[in-house]
Copies of this chain bind each other. A is one copy, B any other.
Amino acid sequence: MEEQSQNTEALILEAARKVFIEKGLEGARMQEIADEAGINKSLLHYYFRSKDKLFHAVFIEAFQKFLPQIDSLILTQAPVAVKLEAFITNYINTIIQNPFIPGFVLHELSRDPQSLAELLKSRASMVPQFLQQIQDEIDAGRIKPFDPRQIIINTLGLCIFPFVARPIAQTIFFENNTEAYNQFLEDRKTEVFKFIKSAIFTEQQ
């Protein structure tokens, strides 16, 4: 019983993940999730009490998938250049493997911004340390004098935006050639760091 219920629960979560991430909370239908999982709709309510609860489980899971890389960026001790390069590669890699999660998370967060507080309680206190690390390298002359927050937002935006804007970007620049756009995204694993490096680091030997 234990085993089977874990199987079913995982089956439901997988189906819910697919449908919710593709269609959002309001676009998704419980019946569609049930069909996707190959089970009865009532089972959804047996394992998760409501649509909102099921959605919340999916959302938390999606959101947390991107926290490890952020953690290592913020918490690790290494020069900013080293950490940024590793972060960008890993982060874009993670998004390539979960290309619809960023749009999903951003959309649902702007629908319900309140739910953020609970998710960030532990991390928020670590951010200032990373901002200070950037500021220290600015003071040491290794990074040009940009607002550290601007640098971080720029980094995240450069990683995430091409996935959120994929339909329009792929159409405009790649005549809707999916394979070509995938290669474009692959290239960004190195191109984005080259871009940021060229933007913020000072010359020195």
Contact = CB atoms under 8 A, between A and B. Distances in A.
Given A107-B107, A149-B173, A164-B164, A195 B188 contact: no
Label chain A's interface by main secondary structure. Answer: helix
Given A26-B26, A195-B199, A198-B198, A120 B172 contact: yes
Interface string A127-163: 1000100000000000010110110111011101110
A82 interface: no
16 contacts: A23-B26, A26-B26, A27-B111, A100-B110, A103-B107, A110-B166, A113-B171, A123-B172, A124-B172, A149-B173, A150-B187, A156-B161, A157-B160, A157-B161, A157-B162, A198-B198
A131 to B, nearest CB: 8
A169 interface: yes
A149 B194 contact: no
Given A107-B107, A150-B187, A164-B164, 13 more contacts: A23-B111, A109-B167, A116-B168, A127-B172, A131-B173, A149-B184, A153-B162, A156-B161, A157-B158, A157-B161, A158-B158, A196-B199, A198-B198
A14 interface: no
A43 to B, nearest CB: 24
Contact of A127 (B131, B173, B195): B173
